[in-house]
Structure 1
Amino acid sequence: MGSSLSIVHELTPGRLFLASLDHVSEIVASITALAESLGVEAGIVSGIGALKDAVIGYYDQVAHEYRSMEIGGPVEISSLSGNISIRDGKPFLHIHATLADSQGNDRGGHLSSGTVFAAEVYIRELVGRPPTRSHDPTTGLFLWSETY
């Protein structure tokens, strides 16, 4: 198996925010803009609500690229969970979602985009030197780098 190196960032709890996102806004862009406007550089994000449509995906570990799945109809947000860190010098949202259709069938993965019907988001700011994402040649992903 070999040895592993863990990237560790010690942060402390900061401000807490509850936000209601605008109807027909784009969810990922809205949460990112909210973090930027609040000055949140590191944090934890969760939420509930409903989307008119969405694009979710998974990371193809062999091809090193995201594969997208479009969801064209209305869905409930069963789970919305992610984090905020720094990429290219500004707040970056990495978020996953589980979305349920009218039959209760779930689809989940990396949330690329979605049109808000109604959504309530919780952001817990983390204070300290924020994690910074950089390209990892092993995975092809932008992962947290440096331990401090």
Structure 2
Amino acid sequence: MHYREVATAREFVVRLETGGDWREQVESLAAEEGMEAAWFTGLGAVQDAEVWFYDQDRKEYDAAVFDEPLEVAACVGNVSDLNGEPFAHTHAVLSRPSGQALAGHLDAGTVWAGELYVREFEESLVREHDETTDLDLWL
């Protein structure tokens, strides 16, 4: 296990722009505000979504594309540095009108409405390649 204590710096409430990409807007906020590390939660709705699922045996992501309106029942993630750029590691639980839930790593989603709470850390988080998982994980 790797852990360290972090101190928080700033906090933001964010309304995402309709028609923009959910994750890209989080990354844009981080770049504009100079955030090197943060934790966020959110909710709202998307017009479509691409959700990734990591196959632990193959060590590859599989994409599932949903070209339909979905509620963002829950969204959680963190911002860190990946190759010198802000990266928003984003997971979401999405729901259909029937109440069926879809969940996973939210790679992309066209925002219909989105609201976030973002808490910035004073310390940076940098992602580096982890041989065991074949993922870029923060230290």
TM-score (norm 2): 0.96
Name the stretch that deviates more: 29-38 or 6-15: 6-15
Q: Deviations over 1:10-64 (max 9, x none)?
A: 2101111011111110111111001111111111011111000001121000111
1:1-148 superposed matches below 5 A: 6-128=1-123, 130-145=124-139
Count of residues in Structure 1 that have an aligned counterpart in Structure 2: 139
Identity of aligned residues (%): 37
Deviation at 1:90, TM superposition (A): 2.3
TM-score (ref. length: structure 1): 0.90
Long gaps (5+) in structure 1 = 1-5
Structure 2: which 5+ runs fail to align? none
Letter in 2 for 1:82: G
Whole-angstrom distance in 1 between the partners of 2:67 and 2:4: 38
- Pair member with larger Rg: 1
